[in-house]
Structure 1
Amino acid sequence: MILGFAVMAILALMACALLYAAENKAKALSNELFKERAISSTLRNEKHHEWERAEVLQGEVYALKQDIADLKTKPEQEFKQLQEEQQDELGFGQHVKWRSTKKPTSQTYRLHFDIEPNGQRILEELTARFKRNVFTDDERETCRRIGRAEVVDFIISRINTANDPRYTEQLELAHMEQNDE
């Protein structure tokens, strides 16, 4: 009988331990659920704020697109007006003021036509315009086209010189001074 009470006491102790463990697990799951709900609520709020910001930004994008469309139509008119004003002021032809500067090096050509995006676009236009088929049935026209293509070839040659790993600007400047170019 004592043995029976001992077994019953051990079983009761085990049941209590199991109940305690189950209760702790339930509390842990409850806390985890509470944390997930809090995170979900926070994420919902952030999502709502992001939607509001997206709507504001969408309105700004629409306004900027309108501005861009307006600006695209404006330059042609303004450029024509500027040309007319300049012709009225100057009379006729192009008047350019020349400044005395040092001669450009191959590095200068590289910086302006190879690295700078606007220079790349200019070189592409010059190449497309003046490097097309130079040979025609008319000998004089062929010579004229070869002469025009020579300018583009010169620019490309200077760029290639600057891109050579052995090139130094100081060496070219020394050569230019020596030859008085």
Structure 2
Amino acid sequence: MNPPALVLASTSPYRRVLLERLGLPFATAAPDVDERRHPDEPPERLVRRLAEAKARAVAVNHPEALIIGSDQVACLDDAILGKPGDQATAIAQLERASGRCVVFQTGLCVLDARRGQAHTLVEPFRVHFRTLTRARILGYLERERPYDCAGSFKSEGLGIALFERLEGDDPTALIGLPLIRLIPLLESSGLDPLGA
């Protein structure tokens, strides 16, 4: 039996580049999902729910595919730091994160649309920030402009200069798609990146 087509339920360029690392052919599709948080919804539940909702939304147009959904939030204390969208919000986020630990929760879903069977998980990753001066924050934002990134930085770029240390099992989770956790889910569905 031929393995199913692979579809990434995301238009994120960061997730696309990550998935390209595996060398498997795939398509991308934009999921039409309401991403608002439910009242009192814990971050872990939010990202798990949205990852699966994105995969199921794309399955409507790809009923024979294996679909990857993912969602991520950055958490500081009990607050979720979203994508800043502009410089003022990014400054506020980075000032708040200065000298502290931000926890990224990344939800992952692999949905076999043929069977309607979904496997979901949440991968945490901790970012310990250096103490950041306003001048350093402004210098960073001017150079990288990470306004479409949760937490206001790109760890795969100059954002690495903002950190004291990183803590987690899957460094790709921080960018938005935990490949180490994804690979066994793909293998169990007949897609092996190593072709073994």
- Tell me, yes or no, whether TM beats 0.5: no
After TM superposition, the score normalised by the length of structure 2 is 0.15
Q: Which has the larger radius of gyration?
A: 1
After TM superposition, the score normalised by the length of structure 1 is 0.16
Higher RCO (CA < 8 A, seq sep 6+): 2
Question: By percentage of residues, which structure has more strand?
Answer: 2
